[in-house]
Structure 1
């Protein structure tokens, strides 16, 4: 860590790498969002992971919700519908819907999604068909901005994972 400049010669954390919290401009307040009846927290996985499911930011009369990559995981932190892409995608939508609802939001507040597919060539057609029917059923207009990416997901059993950004006026 000294070679990387993280620690000083006397084993102190280098302020050039990790500066102290600045008092003249404190960090924005962040609120952790939970939907425990649907999906557990990543730090409670059998192999814990260090991220929040979602964070809410309150910005000048608006709520911004940042939903981490969410997949077909149940309330016990176990994968659901192994090997079934369609069922995994629907379970992912259920999980995201419940995270949105935890903050009084819906898919109508979603402005952007990033969609990760393990095998985009094999699954994109089915993904787009389901996404289109889901968005049509919800009556979304305009549709959220989106990106589709082929990626190796955190567990071999997961076939799809979605990040969401949502914004609405605060009450």
Structure 2
């Protein structure tokens, strides 16, 4: 059984929904998830110009990959987030709270502003590491 111990020398990040670090013990499987974006099952960009909808679909796609590996959001031990407009992304981070809050999971996270993503119409991308 995997055990998670939060490491927070200060508490400000908890208000934003993530731990500064976590000690992970007892995991036997790791899943590295590539960047998930707002694309359909054929890889076509969706929700052009709509950051909120792109974040939502990116999270749906992340959950689909996790499910295919027999995992869920509670297995995530690290998130990497990339946005072409950090301020607009942060306005919509309640979407993270709605998904991670109920399961009381606050994985360490990094949010980076980028000039563009691999496909120009995409505004948001999320990658993850999960363990079970």
Q: Same fold (TM over 0.5)?
A: yes
Report the TM-score, using the length of structure 2 for normalisation: 0.75
Structure 2: state its 5+ residue gaps.
Answer: 1-25
The Cα shift of 1:132 comes to: 1.3
Whichever of the two has the greater Rg, that structure is: 1
Structure number with the bigger relative contact order (C-alpha 8 A, sep ≥ 6) is: 2
Q: Which runs of 4+ in 1 moved over 3 A?
A: none
Among 110, 122, 125, the residue aligned to 1:158: 122
For 1:99, the equivalent position in structure 2 comes to: 65
What SS is found at the alignment partner of 2:89? helix
Select 1:108's aligned residue among 74, 81, 96. Answer: 74
Q: 2:53 and 2:61 mapped to 1: Cα distance?
A: 12
**Cα deviation per residue 1:18-62 (whole Å; 9 max; x = unaligned)?**
xxxxxxxxxxxxxxxxxxxxxxxxxxxxxxxxxxxxxxxxxx971
Partner of 2:86: 120
Aligned residues, how many? 106
Unpaired runs of 5+ residues, structure 1, are 1-59
Superposed counterparts of 1:36-75, under 5 Å: 62-75=28-41
TM-score computed with the length of structure 1 as normaliser: 0.58
